[in-house]
Structure 1
Amino acid sequence: MAKDAAVSVNRRSDIISAAIEVFAEIGYFRATTAQVAERANISQPYIFRFFRTKEALLLTALEVSWTRVIDSFRSVVETATPDQLENELTEAYEEIIQSHKNEILLQMQAQTVQEEVIRQAMQKGFTEVRDMVLEAFTAAGVANPKQKTLIFLAIGMLCNVSKALDLPALMDR
């Protein structure tokens, strides 16, 4: 029974990874669960063993992407010295953009989805990141922590655009 559970967990992860890739490449509205299933090398009905709807799959994919950012930032906040905090947060985000580009592209696309549940998921992710950064900057004694947080988040969004458009000059600091 434990082996079946492990296979099930792995299959669920495979589906989420495939969904992130497909949604990032062609967009949530154009993507189909058949395309996700093909990418995951499973049958389309198998997706629905784990996710009731395509929207539920998107929500889970977004949760995975936000968790990666939040966990990465949390690790930096717990270990960085006050004078290195901003630089290490920036480096952590740049690493995510490099190694998990599709997750960032997924978030960018999800910003335009008007379904309330998707908007709430995006608001939750952004709010959690903003609050974590603001709290870290405040605790580190950064001058004008609210303004610094806003600028940090704005630069992050510019990094996203730079990566999406393959325009590295936007990230040249």
Structure 2
Amino acid sequence: MAKSGTTAVNRRADIISAAIEVFSEIGYYRATTAEVAKRANISQPYVFRFFATKESLLLTAIEASWTRVIESFRTIVETAPPEALEKQLIYEYESIQAKHQNEMFLQLQAQSIREEAIQAAMRDGFKQVRDMVLKAFCEAGVANPEERTLLFLARGMLCNVAVAIKMPELMKS
């Protein structure tokens, strides 16, 4: 019995990964659960075993992308020396962006989707990152922590746009 549970957990993760790829490549509105199922090498009904709607699948994919950023930043905040905090956070975000580009594209697209649940998920993700970075900057004694946090977040968003439109010169500091 435990083996099938493990398989179900793995299949759920496969579906989420496939959804991130499909949504980031063709957009939420054009994507179908059939395409997600095909990418995950499963049947479409199996997608619905885990996700009642395409929106719930998108929300889970968004949550997964924010979780990666938040957990990675938490590690940096807990271990970086104060004088290197911002630089290490920037480096970590650039690393996430390079390794998990589809998740960043998913977040870019989700910012413009009007459904309240999706907007709420995006607000929650941004709020968690903002609050964590602001608190860390305050505790590290960073001058003007609110402004530095705003600039940090703005730089991250600009980097996402730069990658999406293939304009790396926007990422140079």
Normalised-by-shorter TM-score class: over 0.9
CA RMSD, Structure 1 to Structure 2 (Å): 0.4
The amino acid across from 1:115 in the alignment is: E
- 2:59 is aligned to 59
Task: Give the TM-score taking structure 2 as reference length.
Answer: 0.99
- 1:135 is aligned to 135
Distance 2:96 2:19 in 1: 18
Quote how far apart the aligned CAs of 1:24 are. 0.2
Aligned pairs (5 A) from 1:14-93: 14-93=14-93
Moved over 6 A (4+): none
Q: State the identity as a percent.
A: 65
Task: Give the TM-score taking structure 1 as reference length.
Answer: 0.99
Quote how far apart the aligned CAs of 1:166 are. 1.5
Where does structure 2 lack aligned partners over 5 or more consecutive residues?
none
Quote how far apart the aligned CAs of 1:165 are. 1.0
The amino acid across from 2:141 in the alignment is: G
Q: Deviations over 1:76-95 (max 9, x none)?
A: 00000110000000000000
Distance 2:164 2:115 in 1: 23
Aligned length: 173
The amino acid across from 2:44 in the alignment is: Q
Distance 2:86 2:166 in 1: 24
Whether 2:121 is the aligned partner of 1:117: answer: no
Distance 2:143 2:135 in 1: 13
The amino acid across from 1:134 in the alignment is: L
The amino acid across from 1:88 in the alignment is: Q
